[in-house]
Structure 1
Amino acid sequence: MIYIDMYINSGKIEFNIFRSFANNKKIIKRNELVLPNSYSTAQKLNYIRNLTNVFIDEYDIKYYKVDIGNFRESYNIEAKDFCDKITNSIKMQGVLEELFLSRGVMVWK
């Protein structure tokens, strides 16, 4: 089976696409999606959804896992900016989970 795990950070999403055999992981693709700063939130969500949809088709992904990054390292940013980053990350997680479920990709735990 082919798996994808995604880690949402502020401004980018890191991901691994891999095959798992008897507790051995074989990485097929490891990369990150950098979100263009000039995009609005809606454009960023659409960008992520479209690219992830391509990965599902190209690699025939069957299982997914999505995690939101650790924002504790960002103590020095303004409270409003911090809240916006968390809110946008939650939106990204929701869009990705909706896409995976609508495509029949199951949660990997």
Structure 2
Amino acid sequence: MARAIPWEVYSVKTLVNSLILTDPLALAVWYLDDGTKRSDTESCRIATQSFSKEEHELLQNCFKQNFNISVQIEDWGRTKDGSISYSLAILSRGGNFKKFRDVIYDIVNAEVPSMLYKL
């Protein structure tokens, strides 16, 4: 009889060192799917809790190099196994959320204007 494999085995996400996030459309789609605009400030978060610290650093570098946007890696808490979980935050400080919004605004407005509330 086959043994059931927990769903978590299939839901692991990883990034590779060759990741090149340069397309504003890809950034917009990712944010609209996994991002959340904070209501208390001009900033947002992207749900990246399944990625390692090193993968967050890779994403942080991609944002800086390709879009001149500084993102903050935030401690999101502990996972069931006790390891630290992280997420990405794009803060208003330094105009980073405005830069981010400027990169994806026209795409969101043209393609899915009903999602403009996230910006």
Q: Settle same-fold status: TM greater than 0.5.
A: no
Instruction: Answer with 1 or 2: which has the greater Rg.
Output: 2
The structure that is helix-richer by fraction is 2
Higher RCO (C-alpha 8 Å, min separation 6) = 1
The structure that is strand-richer by fraction is 1
> TM-score, with normalisation over the residues of structure 2?
0.27
> TM-score, with normalisation over the residues of structure 1?
0.29
